[in-house]
Chains A and B, each alone.
Chain A
Amino acid sequence: MQQLWLIPTFPLLGFLVNGLFGRRLSKSATSLIACGSVILSFLWVLKSLSALMPLEQVHIETCFTWIQSGFVNIPFEFSVDRLTAVMLLVVTGIGSLIHIYATGYMAEEDGYWRFFAYLNLFMFFMLILVLANNFLLLFVGWEGVGLCSYLLIGFYYLKLSATTAGNKAFIVNRIGDFGFSLAMFFIVVQFKTLTFQEVFKQAAALPVEATAGSLTVICLLLLVGAAGKSAQVPLYVWLPDAMEGPTPVSALIHAATMVTAGVYMVTRSFVLFDHAPMARDVVAVVGLITAVVAATIGLTQFDIKKVFAYSTVSQLGYMFMALGSGAYAAGMWHVVTHAFFKALLFLGAGSVIHAMHHEQDMRHMGGLRKHIPITFYTLCAAWIAISGVPFTSGWYSKEAILGAVHHHAPWMYWAGVITAAMTAFYVSRSMFMTFFGEFRGHGEPHESPVSMWAPLAVLAVLSVIGGAAFNIPHFLEPVLGAAEHGGHDMMLEVIGSAAGLLGIALAYVMYVASPGMADSIADSLGGVYRLVYNKYFVDEVYDAMVVSPTIAGSRSLLWRGLDAGFIDGAVNGVGWLARTIGGGLRHLQSGNIRSSAAWVVFGAVLAVLLIGIAGATMTGGMGR
């Protein structure tokens, strides 16, 4: 026994203490409790894992029976295998760094304790999600992180845009969860259990579905869930809006951990997906579309956090492409490296925003590398990693994905390469707009305190060496099996790397070498540019086609028409009839209990008479 339950319990305690007493605690006490609980949980992860290594078999610990009804038995049960180990380290490791960063970033904010309480609660649910040994417990974490995401996006609850974005995130995720929950119900129908090992053991014995069968349905429904949480087309719309939340939240929840839960869940259920190739193809196509669409939008945005948000959507699409190609390990590798460099990008952006006194528009930045050098140099690490410069962390996982995708479907590979070029371009663009050229803003930008740049430095190191240092696919072989396709194809790697470098070079030309070129290109594209800049008007289309008709229909048809009009009209009609015919009914209201009783008896007598008649006709009818 490794007392795995302690891992989520530390942050839960942090949440309870800060949530209940935070108002009365000093800021330093709040920080100590919040960061301390997460670091403790990180240490407990290290301790448990080192005891469990080499961890070639799954290790299970049961806490108690949660739900038991008939054959359905859902224990509150945690398990650790190598896949869980990777997620645990990422979540608690990066979680600790971001908690420390946030103590600096949020220092001046009202509701400091509330922020950390939510953040700790998030850690609790995320760890439940990762440690769960059955689908329902995973779903607990799944919904729970969604709740925390809602709370933290709407952290500035006085702002309408923030609370609306929070609602949007929760509701869109609920649509995904609808799919996920249906998948669970169908899994129970098919396998009579939700425990991972039992489901996958039974599924492995089934034949691979050549046509759409029950496993395909289950996998597609799981994909709906994953698309909600991991912001895939068509449910990605909540993630860009989620940037309303404080920046550490964007880094932790909306880049490094929560949004990768969908990738984790699909990887966890890889046995199911491997038996439903049609569903897997859908995963790949959804990932591809998401990667391309989000990358194009990222090219045009000016809000630094929006750029990185669309970048996250696009990178998640990349991971789904990997999953759909059967390269689960490559997908998980990208989860890890992306957690490093994207957390760093967001935290760096936070540092920039902090320096610029809450300015987020890159058109009002520029030349910042002289003012905030530490932020700049650490961000450079993330920049080269996400652009896929050879031997950085992002390069390893990206090339692994592209190789697998090529093996699966060459045309998808080319779309992936183009996306890689676009990715390098938009990140370079934002770097150039922010740190190069002349300073275009107001006031005096200032470097962030050590509590903020120290985590940046750690992440910078990880972003550079994280790919070479952690060979995730190799580590995951006991869980996922060895990769199905052969060794490295040098040619593919050269093309992939070149695409990234090309993107950087192009951005350099357009934003540094000849500034103004970008604007003239945008002008010459006209309508196309506006379409992309306005995010293809997807929000507007959803609103016009789904939200507005539902509300209008509910109000005029269902409520005023059916409910108040038709049904109530009928009832009032009957009531009017009754009052008119039997004015005597009024006596019922006398309030005298005895007279009430008398009415009951009277009614009974009447009823017996009726029964007699009814019974006679009925038995008479039967007799014939």
Chain B
Amino acid sequence: MNCTLLDVVLFAPFVGFLAILLAPRASAKTAALGISAAIFLLSLGLVSPFFGQGHGGTYFETNIPWIDTPSIRYHIALDGLSLWLVILSTLLTPLCVLISWRYIQNRVKEYYAFLLLLEFGVIGVFVSMDLFLFYVFWEVTLVPMYFLIGIWGHDRRIYATVKFFLYTMAGSVLMLVAIIYLYTKTGTFDYTVIQGLLAQGRVTLSNAEQIPMFLAFFLAFAIKVPLWPLHTWLPDAHVEAPTAGSVMLASVMLKMGTYGIVRFCLTLFGNAAHQCADWIVALAIVGIIVGALVAMVQPNMKKLVAYSSVSHLGFVVLGTFSFTQQGLDGAVYQMLNHGVSTGALFMLVGYLYERSHSLEISSYGGVARVAPWFTTIFMVTTLASIGLPLLNNFVGEFLVLQGAALVSKTWVAFAALGVILSACYMLWMFQRAFLGEASEEVRHHITEINSRELLAIAPLVILMVWMGTLTQTFLPSISAANAHILEQSKAGVEYQVKTTAPELAHAR
């Protein structure tokens, strides 16, 4: 059997998971760091084929049977859409090990094991080309995150985990229903086969079938994104999660939702996606604005960042459902941007928490006086988050809004309000927490960023600048994959137009 690099990158975290469970407690975190860093370096090898001609295409495909009946295949592959999300996951895992280094003191082995299991799950989600396999990985991610919050979280962790679990379960059960229904229609779980069958018209889905199936998939993903008004699990989960949990949740797990929408909702049910686009865009824009307004009045830093995520991810959904090259490119770019800058924000807030055990903005003030470098890094991250040009978010927001403008000037006029509001909530928080005179409390607790913390955040800061200026490293491969996806989603629309007409005539 030929084994591709992608197989190795996918299963290495699982092997790491087992290894850490078997390793002695004392060496657990060192092992976790070594393994996850090695996986990251390995995963960089995945980039190479995407820098060839045209940047497009699907690589590292493995397609072998897993279970005979029903026919479930181990089918994984990588294209420009999944590539960077996989690398984001492999990058953030070692960083999460680093930021947990001192904070996690009890059940250390299990903690790091779960972190690697989570990495295994999310990579699996991003590379699965078989719907059932996808679903399995989707559920696998739930388990470690459930425990990361439930065991190592803060006071109200049980409430947060149950809420997180219920929300997600509700969505994914519906998705499973739709997956199985697709199976009954096509006789396969293989995404590429199903997509081909639908595109060629060898299997037809009537509108009455397509819309509920689209919605079933979409709901599962929208909860994960989270799309307003399905977002209320997120602030609670973030506030209760340990820092690394928040980082993985925001940076990687939310992207499972947006990834799923782009990968499956658009290509399998292009017609339904187009039909529902107006409603979804409306929710996305409401999310952008309301998320930002609610973030503005949060007294708790983590909640503020969580609500800002609702706002930022509204941009991703908006771009996706503009069905334009620019909008979709911006959406995918924004997924990565959000992973980098919001991940960094959660890290920094976590550093503060480790020092003074408070997430309330009002308990800080004057941090700049005692920890100038820490403040500088926080400032850069803040600026990235509010979309300052030459930093990463600007590129994504520009493309998303440009894509939206090509469809509707009203959409973009409302969505762009989010850019004003993001400056408000971030700068007000920055002022209250970092500027002014330092209180006794702050002087006593807050210390300058240490080298381990710096090592964890530095890659993200570098990426903020890199992704804001040298976008050509990332965008061409993303663009190529998106062009293909748009083609497929359009094929669905045209096909539907062709077939529904005679059907209607027949019905009459």
User: Which residue of chain B is the closest to A555 with respect to CB atoms?
Assistant: B297
Q: How near does chain A come to B63, taking the closest CB pair, in angstroms?
A: 22
Q: 1/0 per residue B321-337: CB within 8 Å of A?
A: 00011100110000000
Chain A residues closer than 8 Å to B233, beta-carbon distance: 571
B5 at the interface (CB under 8 A from A): no
| C-alpha gap A144/B387 in the complex (Å) | 11
Q: Is the CB of B294 within 8 A of A66?
A: no
Q: Is the CB of A140 within 8 A of B389?
A: yes
From A50-58, A474-482, A603-611, give the one contacting chain B. Answer: A603-611
Q: Is the CB of A68 within 8 A of B436?
A: no
Chain A residues closer than 8 Å to B402, beta-carbon distance: 72, 185, 188
The bracket for how many chain A residues form the interface is 35 or more
Q: Is the CB of A178 within 8 A of B424?
A: no
A163 at the interface (CB under 8 A from B): yes
**Residues of B151-204 whose CB lies within 8 A of A:** 162-163, 165-167, 173, 176-177, 180-181, 184
Q: Is the CB of A181 within 8 A of B401?
A: yes
Q: Which of B147, B206, B419 contacts A622 (CB 8 A)?
A: B206
Q: Is the CB of B208 within 8 A of A158?
A: no
Given contacts A186-B405, A568-B232, A575-B166, contact A157 B435 (CB under 8 A): yes
Q: Is the CB of B388 within 8 A of A144?
A: yes
**Residues of B213-259 whose CB lies within 8 A of A:** 229, 232-233
B47 at the interface (CB under 8 A from A): no
| C-alpha gap A608/B181 in the complex (Å) | 8
Q: Is the CB of B431 within 8 A of A164?
A: yes
B280 at the interface (CB under 8 A from A): no
| C-alpha gap A603/B170 in the complex (Å) | 11
Q: Is the CB of B325 within 8 A of A70?
A: yes
From A166-174, A383-391, A392-400, A414-422, give the one contacting chain B. Answer: A166-174
Q: Is the CB of B431 within 8 A of A163?
A: yes
Chain A residues closer than 8 Å to B23, beta-carbon distance: none
| C-alpha gap A189/B326 in the complex (Å) | 12
Q: Which of A64, A163, A603, A614 contacts B435 (CB 8 A)?
A: A163
Chain A residues closer than 8 Å to B173, beta-carbon distance: 603, 607
User: Which residue of chain A is the closest to B330 with respect to CB atoms?
Assistant: A69
**Residues of B394-414 whose CB lies within 8 A of A:** 395, 398-399, 401-402, 405-406, 409, 412-413
B39 at the interface (CB under 8 A from A): no
From B25-33, B97-105, B271-279, B472-480, give the one contacting chain A. Answer: B472-480
Q: Is the CB of B176 within 8 A of A67?
A: no
| C-alpha gap A167/B424 in the complex (Å) | 8
Q: How near does chain B come to A329, taking the closest CB pair, in angstroms?
A: 30
Given contacts A67-B398, A157-B435, contact A182 B479 (CB under 8 A): no
Q: Is the CB of B431 within 8 A of A185?
A: no
From A196-204, A264-272, A361-369, A588-596, give the one contacting chain B. Answer: A588-596
B139 at the interface (CB under 8 A from A): yes
Q: Is the CB of A171 within 8 A of B436?
A: no
Q: Is the CB of A175 within 8 A of B330?
A: no
Q: Is the CB of A185 within 8 A of B139?
A: no
Q: Is the CB of B476 within 8 A of A171?
A: no
Q: How near does chain A come to B194, taking the closest CB pair, in angstroms?
A: 15
Q: Is the CB of A157 within 8 A of B368?
A: yes
Given contacts A69-B330, A558-B294, A611-B177, contact A185 B427 (CB under 8 A): no
Q: Is the CB of B177 within 8 A of A610?
A: yes
Q: How near does chain B come to A124, taking the closest CB pair, in angstroms?
A: 10
Q: Is the CB of A64 within 8 A of B472?
A: yes
Q: How near does chain A come to B187, taking the closest CB pair, in angstroms?
A: 14
Q: 1/0 per residue B399-443: CB within 8 Å of A?
A: 101100110010011001101100110011001000111000000
Chain A residues closer than 8 Å to B229, beta-carbon distance: 567
| C-alpha gap A64/B470 in the complex (Å) | 9
User: Which residue of chain B is the closest to A179 with respect to CB atoms?
Assistant: B416
Given contacts A154-B435, A558-B294, contact A181 B419 (CB under 8 A): yes
| C-alpha gap A144/B390 in the complex (Å) | 9
Q: Is the CB of A167 within 8 A of B405?
A: no
Chain B residues closer than 8 Å to A588, beta-carbon distance: 165
| C-alpha gap A147/B298 in the complex (Å) | 24
A534 at the interface (CB under 8 A from B): no
Q: How near does chain A come to B219, taking the closest CB pair, in angstroms?
A: 14
User: Which residue of chain B is the closest to A579 with respect to CB atoms?
Assistant: B162
Q: How near does chain A come to B367, taking the closest CB pair, in angstroms?
A: 11
**Residues of A546-583 whose CB lies within 8 A of B:** 550-551, 553-555, 558-559, 562-564, 567-568, 571, 574-575, 578
A212 at the interface (CB under 8 A from B): no
Q: Is the CB of A147 within 8 A of B388?
A: yes
| C-alpha gap A182/B417 in the complex (Å) | 10
B360 at the interface (CB under 8 A from A): no
A160 at the interface (CB under 8 A from B): yes
Chain A residues closer than 8 Å to B71, beta-carbon distance: none
Given contacts A69-B475, A72-B402, A181-B416, contact A622 B208 (CB under 8 A): yes
Q: Is the CB of B472 within 8 A of A68?
A: yes
Q: A160-B436, A622-B208 are in contact. List 20 more A-B contacts (CB 8 A).
A: A67-B395, A68-B475, A72-B326, A147-B388, A157-B436, A158-B435, A167-B427, A174-B419, A178-B417, A182-B405, A182-B412, A185-B402, A188-B405, A550-B296, A551-B297, A554-B294, A578-B166, A604-B176, A611-B184, A615-B184
Complex A-B, nearest 10 residue pairs according to Cβ-Cβ distance, in ascending order = A70-B325, A185-B405, A140-B389, A554-B293, A555-B297, A69-B329, A163-B435, A157-B435, A607-B177, A174-B423
A–B Cβ pairs within 8 angstroms, 24 of them: A67-B471, A68-B475, A72-B399, A140-B389, A143-B388, A144-B389, A157-B436, A163-B436, A167-B427, A167-B428, A170-B423, A178-B420, A182-B413, A185-B409, A188-B406, A551-B297, A553-B293, A554-B294, A554-B296, A563-B232, A588-B165, A607-B173, A621-B208, A622-B208
